[in-house]
Amino acid sequence: MSRVACIGECMIELKQAQGTKAGLYSRGYGGDTLNTAVYLARLGVGADYITALGDDTLSDEMIAGWAAEGVGTARVARLPGKLPGLYMIETDDKGERRFFHWRDSAAARSLMDLPQTPDVLSSLSNYDTIYLSAITLSLYGGEGRARLFAALKRARELGARFAFDTNFRARGWPDLDVARSVFQEAFAAADIVLASTEDLLPLYPGESNDALLARIPGAEVVLKLSEPASLLRIQGTLHPVKAEPLKAPVVDTTAAGDSFAAAYVAARLLGADPIEAARAGHRLAGVVVCHPGAIIPRAAMPPGMVPATSHKASP
């Protein structure tokens, strides 16, 4: 079975309980790359989560939940006295979300500076695909990011592929010039770039879709657009892909991009070409946004999300 290493941070998630007035929240967990790992596992792809947590009961609960979803947890560092971060979701009547974070001292921020960091990084060469996001990169300082990029280079030399998601949160990047520099380094290193105009326009205001794509040198690039569609550049050729109409009202757009990434990567690993993979990404994201929270109930996962193909494409 193909395996994907997802690197990042999972936090305690608070979201307003359905059918209640403001002030009553339910507790779960979520984080962009963790959400992708869960959806990858549900789509039949082996996924391990690489992060750091505390030694508290909430961290225990997280690990138990991930394991129950089939996500591997052997590479989760446990740090005495530390806690996971926390975020709250506020959604408007159109399902658009706003996040509030409490995470400055979260355990995950230490992942690149631990005694076990060299072992964690050397393990990346054991995976078919390594997936992380711009939020992941915002967690670490410059030296930590340098260690991670060096490990990604070594893993790619041994046959692993690096998929980079541009998920951008301005609060994680106080200096936008640093963010632009890190993005360019990630673009140059990545085999697959999963981008969106929502993420890139705050960094490159006013640029056209063509100009945004020109910033990304890779051979396989997905640019999700403001309308329900994406623009793929595969080996220099552009391919527009439209999403299917939604079958239910949008409730919460949290994890739309994370689930798109999971379906895209899963489809590529299972043999689909990039256009088929993008269609799978749009289909899964179209289901996820019709449910509250980052991770939808397992029963809500529709069958046949990842296309079966008779030809093998290189992921």
- Read off the pLDDT of residues 212-243 as tens digits, 9 standing for 90 and up: 999 999 999 999 999 999 999 999 999 999 99
How much is the average pLDDT of 286-297? 90
Establish if 233 belongs to a structural domain: yes
pLDDT digits (tens, 9 = 90+) for 40-70: 999 999 999 999 999 999 999 999 999 999 9
The CATH number covering residue 148 comes to 3.40.1190.20
What's the one-letter identity of residue 42? R
Residue 149 has pLDDT above 70, yes or no: yes
What's the one-letter identity of residue 255? A
What percent of the residues of the chain are helix, what percent strand, and what percent coil, each to the nearest 5? 40, 25, 40
pLDDT digits (tens, 9 = 90+) for 97-137: 677 889 889 999 999 999 999 999 999 999 999 999 999 99
How much is the average pLDDT of 136-155? 98
DSSP track, 190-257: -SEEEEEHHHHTTTSTT--HHHHHHT---SEEEEE-SSSEEEEEETTEEEEEEPPPPSS-----TTHH
The token duo for 204 is 């490159």
What pLDDT sits at residue 1?
A: 67
What pLDDT sits at residue 271?
A: 93
Q: Looking at the 3D structure of the chain, how many domains does it have?
A: 1
Give residue 311's pLDDT band: very low, low, confident or very high (50, 70, 90).
very low
Residue whose pair of structure tokens reads 């030809």 in the numeric block:
311
Domain coverage including residue 38: 3-8+31-81+110-296
C-alpha triplet 56, 61, 62: angle, nearest 5°: 100
Q: Mean pLDDT, the chain, as a whole number?
A: 92
Residue 310 has pLDDT above 70, yes or no: no
Establish if 88 belongs to a structural domain: no
Q: Which residues in the chain belong to E strands, given as ranges? A: 3-7, 11-16, 25-30, 46-54, 76-79, 86-91, 97-102, 129-133, 161-165, 192-196, 220-224, 229-234, 237-242
Residue 315 has pLDDT above 50, yes or no: no
How much is the average pLDDT of 268-284? 96
Orientation of helix 256-269 relative to helix 274-288, angle to 10°: 150
Establish if 104 belongs to a structural domain: no
What's the one-letter identity of residue 217? P
What pLDDT sits at residue 292?
A: 82
Establish if 314 belongs to a structural domain: no
Give residue 313's pLDDT band: very low, low, confident or very high (50, 70, 90).
very low
Establish if 242 belongs to a structural domain: yes
What pLDDT sits at residue 93?
A: 72
Range with the lowest mean pLDDT among 9-13, 53-57, 245-249, 309-313? Answer: 309-313
- Whether 273 contacts 309, CB under 8 Å: yes
Q: DSSP class of residue 7?
A: E
Establish if 17 belongs to a structural domain: no
Pairwise CA distance, residues 295 & 254, whole Å: 9
Three-class SS state of 8? coil
Pairwise CA distance, residues 191 & 160, whole Å: 9
What pLDDT sits at residue 312?
A: 38
Pairwise CA distance, residues 287 & 243, whole Å: 12
What pLDDT sits at residue 307?
A: 63
Residue 142 has pLDDT above 90, yes or no: yes
pLDDT digits (tens, 9 = 90+) for 181-210: 999 999 999 999 999 999 999 999 999 999
Residues with a known catalytic role: 258
Establish if 315 belongs to a structural domain: no
Cβ-Cβ contacts under 8 Å for 208 (sequence gap 6 or more): none
Establish if 305 belongs to a structural domain: no
What pLDDT sits at residue 289?
A: 94
